[in-house]
Chain A
Amino acid sequence: MKKSNSKTSRGLLLVCLLFLLQSCYSVRLKSINGSEQPDPVSERTDDYRNMTVMEIDTVLTIKATTSIPTFLVKKNALCKSGQLHTVEYRNTLGSVLLSAVTLGRKRKMKVKYVCVKPSN
């Protein structure tokens, strides 16, 4: 009986921990100038409806001597102007812990961004 209680408690703790690691918040930066690059084929129904959105969900591995890694925004089909309009950054407890445990060498990056609509 005691053993099964302890198993349940450990299970609950694990669930809570997983939940905590996933707990997150997002912050968005948006330029008041320029328009977002549209995506007429998109069927998104979130805040990015009608927009071409780049989504990055990766872990950057950097040298111990690197301070801030710079992710370069390049001109391509999803970013025709090569200029940023909106950036949404998501942070989780898990990503903070990952960076702390690896002494900053692994950095979780979860970002959505929209580029400026190109003008002719």
Chain B
Amino acid sequence: MATTIAHPKTKWDTLHNNGPFPLKTLYVTELAGDGNIPAKIDRYNDVAEEIQRLIKETADDNEGFRAYGSRWSMNNIAHHKDRMHYNGFMNIHLPIAEADCHDDTTYDASNLFLFECGNTIKEVSKQLSAHGKSLKTTGASNGQTIAGCISTGVHGSALDVGSVQDYVVGLNLIIGPNPEDVVYLERHTKPALNDVFASKLKARVIRNDGLFNAALVGLGAFGFIHGVVIEAEPRFLLNRYVKKIDKNIALKLAETMDFKNSSFKIPEETDEQGNANRPYHYKIFINQYNDDLEYVVELMYKKPYVVPYEDPFPVIKESLYRDLIHLFVKMAENFPKSIPWLVRRLRKTILPTVNEELIGTVPEIFWDAPYQGPAFACSFGVDHKDAPRTMKLLGDLTKKEGPIPGIFAMRFVKKSEATLAFTKFPITCMIEIDGVLWKKTRRIMSVTEFSKRMIETLQQNNIPFTMHWGKTGNWTFPGLVAHMFGDDTVNEWKNYRNGLLSEDMAKLFSNDFLETTGLSEKNLDDTDDWIVSL
């Protein structure tokens, strides 16, 4: 039997110390050992029953419940003040056999895998590598759990691939304490698994594009994500280059995404006509405090997997003294004018090494994050055509009303089908300023105030935008979510949620973040028809 320990707690915090937030109980569940329940599918179903028991226990006490994994989100989206569930030990994976696939599926069974919620991206990659497969993209890091990634729309900079949720083809949710509350969702226009497989999970099947797309970036509001079926692909290599290029060229590429006709070329990455190849990944680093005429850019090109290749890891990995970072923060808080100087001093740590070239697989290139201490990141999604203008506005704001202890970067992500994906533009440019977390003083505004000024600046300049669900922001900004997605989209998302969850469960799976953003409100529409299996 799966076991859970309930730890009495008073507070909970994110990995990057963006809290602390109040908490009453922390549940930690571990699966039964394989010596007791040998079959993976039986252990998976056994722990599902345990989660339902916890949901019932919480509902009986009229409290709220929220699952979390690695605590990587930089706000309270993963938090609940009553009961939280740590799912990091729930890390079963099951390869999908051809016999498990739907008759009408277009997926290759060998690319399909079911991962339990607590698998981190690093664990997923490790299991896939053992099958000669790879994730299509990650969040350019590896510590988040698969359920956490999709719930908040984690992205890298794979401009023609998308975000993590975009290769999810099925969701196994636990939406309540009763047997019929285990559901398996997938798109009706693109089914993946058959009903026989779903019955092995003791799940009720709902094939419905709208419901699936709403639940995909579900912000933890669609119940407990127990398992995620993903489509992987054959393992591949990435050639990574770091270059310093004319800032106008870098921004022109951001605006047009026309790499073929750009004057910027990497000789090894051209086609037979000598035109530049389109990269898999493009990222621009911008130190807004520096008037350099050149920007550091990172480009990656997808290559077939061939061995041997040069080891992408250094022999020794160095990191800054924590005391030095602490000193940086104190200086920033008390002498904000010193921030541009401090950023310049730390540029070798903050920015990748120019002219560095590496080759490796996705998990090798996007390995462990070097710094996991207190941090902030404000991340805005805009149409890539608006990227240079947005960057100018936000950069100027940061210089004029800051300085703020962080630097900007631009990443590019293909549009997602998820209803509330912040990657909603054909190619979304995610403009992000990240850095060390500081405390407000009379000399420097708070990060929430800074976020508010960024939102106001974009609104005043009529630039349509979204914000990363898992990042720092002024989430209490009036009408923010409706401004980002429009009332119709927001109502559609709410209707699917209200259709899927009972009123009690909608309340149980809500939290302060959803209430602040107005997403927990119950719509008056009759939502029963919304969740039929098509």
The answer to whether A32 touches B313 (Cβ under 8 A) is: yes
The answer to whether B92 and A38 touch across the interface, beta carbons within 8 angstroms, is no
Across the interface, do B91 and A40 meet the contact criterion of CB distance under 8 Å? no
Which of A7-15, A42-50, A92-100 contacts the other chain? A42-50
> B92 contacts A49, CB within 8 Å?
no
> What chain A residues lie within 8 Å of B116 (beta carbons)?
120
Contact of A34 among B7, B26, B126 (CB under 8 A): B126
Contact between chains at A40 and B88 (CB < 8 Å): yes
- The reply to whether B122 and A35 form a contact with Cβ atoms under 8 Å apart is yes
CB <8 Å contact, A32 and B367: yes
- Which A24-73 residues have C-beta < 8 A from chain B? 30, 32-35, 38, 40-41, 43, 45-47, 49-50
State whether the Cβ of A107 lies closer than 8 Å to any Cβ in chain B. no
Q: Is B322 an interface residue (CB 8 A)?
A: yes
Residues A120 and B322 in contact in the complex (CB < 8 Å), given A35-B123, A40-B86 = no
| Contact residues in B for A46 (Cβ distance below 8 Å) | 322
Q: Are B91 and A119 in contact (CB under 8 A)?
A: yes
Main secondary structure of the interface of A (DSSP, over half): loop
A120 in contact with B123 given A40-B88, A41-B26, A50-B15 (CB within 8 Å): no
Let me know if A41 and B15 touch, CB within 8 A: no
**Are A120 and B34 closer than 8 Å at their CB atoms?**
yes
Shortest distance between the CB of B126 and any CB in chain A (Å): 7
B34 touches A33 (CB 8 A): no
Main secondary structure of the interface of B (DSSP, over half): loop
- Check: A117 CB closer than 8 A to any chain B CB: yes
User: A85 to nearest B CB, angstroms?
Assistant: 11
Answer whether residue B415 sits at the interface, using C-beta atoms and an 8 A cutoff. no
Q: Check if B407 is an interface residue, CB within 8 A of chain A.
A: no
**Nearest chain B CB to A119 CB, angstrom units:** 6
The reply to whether A117 and B7 form a contact with Cβ atoms under 8 Å apart is no
Q: Does B76 contact A (CB under 8 A)?
A: no
Inter-chain CA distance A92–B86, complex, in Å, is 38
A118 to B263, CA, bound (A): 50
Interface residues of A (CB under 8 A from B): 30, 32-35, 38, 40-41, 43, 45-47, 49-50, 117-120
What 7 pairs across the A-B complex have the smallest Cβ distances? A40-B86, A120-B92, A38-B88, A120-B31, A35-B122, A40-B28, A120-B91
- The 28 listed contacts between A and B (C-beta, < 8 Å) are A32-B367, A35-B120, A35-B122, A35-B123, A38-B86, A38-B89, A40-B86, A40-B88, A41-B7, A43-B13, A45-B17, A45-B373, A46-B322, A47-B322, A49-B15, A49-B373, A50-B15, A50-B70, A50-B71, A117-B123, A118-B89, A119-B91, A120-B40, A120-B89, A120-B90, A120-B91, A120-B92, A120-B116
Q: Which residues of B line the A interface, CB within 8 A?
A: 7, 13, 15, 17, 26, 28, 31, 34, 40, 43, 70-71, 86, 88-92, 116, 120, 122-123, 126-127, 313, 317, 319, 322, 367, 372-373
